[in-house]
Chains A and B, each alone.
Chain A
Amino acid sequence: MPRIKSLEDLKKIKENAKDLTSARSEGKTRVVIGMGTCGIAAGARKVMDAVLAELEKRGLHDVTVETTGCIGMCQQEPLLDVIRAGQGRITYGKVEPEDVPRIIADHVVNGTIVQDKVIGRAD
């Protein structure tokens, strides 16, 4: 039986993260995942899991993860947007959990867009 995680542990996480959240918003990279009915049915929650796990594994604490509703591109779900300073908004379609490490490593970290998964871009 694993030890039950406690609010004490949460307090520690908070203390460790103090300096990381202070430089918030401006210039921060955002990952946005579509969480409408179609997205969920297509596996968006697993993509969300994979994103959080990958960011945590790489210690990328200055990236925020958000969700959004249906944007009318249901046949392309799961959808994942990366918004990175100076690069606008890139939308990836039919994202599988297996694609996530590549998108994080290439795009979020290095700024190289994963072309074969892109279905849209906006500034």
Chain B
Amino acid sequence: MLEDLSCHILDIAENSAAADAETVTLLLEERRRENWLYLSVEDDGRGMDEERCARVYDPFFTTRTTRRVGLGIPFLRQAAEACDGELTLTSRLGEGTALRASFRLDHIDRPPVGDIAATLVTLLAGNPRIRWIYRHRVDDSEFLLDSQELLAVLEDPDMLRTPAVAEWLRSYIAENLEEIGAGGESIAQDQKS
């Protein structure tokens, strides 16, 4: 099982990369006031037809085992439902896929946000030709990372694969997320103890 949301995000976004997406838009929203956490991953990859989409959502939906389906999406769905939330998956063949998941923020079983910087570094270094847009909101504060802006500086996408750039990116993301207090629930928990 995947230990935190950042691992789920990596797993889901890898599907988008495997579906030949050109642009993948990720959003993680910590709405502390409303006590909800929302995650969405949208891509313009090859998409799925209705039947496949239903099967990916629920691998036990049909007893036919024509092709193996993975467990990444069901894992996330289970995690969301365990926290009073839900997961929706919508896809159109040839157009793209959108996944949304919600979690009650203060639910005892809600997975921690985890290491978002490591996830994004892995995605960008591993798939430098995809345009990655990552938005992280904590109530009214927002951090936005658009790999196109990085490429405007770097020019060559392969630069994203180099260790020096990866290390810069990791600190850049971590510092910006700290600025907006991302994943701060762990701090609140520390204070309680």
A contact residues vs B (CB 8 Å cutoff): 2, 4-5, 7, 9-11, 13-14, 16-17, 20-21, 24, 33, 35-37, 40-41, 45-46, 48-49, 52-53, 55-56, 60-61, 63-67, 69-70
Q: Which 4 A-B pairs have the closest CB atoms?
A: A67-B126, A56-B163, A55-B163, A37-B72
Q: Which stretch (B30-38, B81-89, B105-113, B148-156) binds chain A?
A: B148-156
- Complex contact A4–B159 (CB within 8 A): no
- Complex contact B163–A5 (CB within 8 A): no
Nearest residue (CB) in B for A36 is B14
Q: Which stretch (B40-48, B58-66, B134-142, B165-173) binds chain A?
A: B165-173
For this complex, 16 residue pairs linking A to B, each with C-beta atoms less than 8 Å apart, are A4-B176, A7-B149, A10-B153, A13-B168, A20-B162, A21-B158, A21-B162, A37-B2, A40-B10, A45-B122, A55-B163, A56-B163, A65-B125, A65-B166, A67-B125, A67-B126
What A residues does B187 contact at CB under 8 A?
none
Distance between A64 CB and nearest chain B CB, rounded to angstroms: 5
- Complex contact A17–B159 (CB within 8 A): yes
**Is B95 positioned at the interface, with any CB of A under 8 Å from its CB?**
no
What A residues does B188 contact at CB under 8 A?
none
Contact with A along B4-35 (1 / 0, CB 8 A): 00010011001000100000000000000000
Partner of A37, one of B71, B115, B171: B71
What A residues does B167 contact at CB under 8 A?
52-53, 56
Q: A2-B175, A56-B164 are in contact. List 19 more A-B contacts (CB 8 A).
A: A4-B175, A5-B172, A16-B164, A17-B159, A33-B126, A36-B14, A37-B2, A37-B71, A40-B14, A41-B1, A48-B122, A49-B118, A53-B167, A60-B163, A61-B163, A61-B164, A63-B163, A64-B161, A69-B18
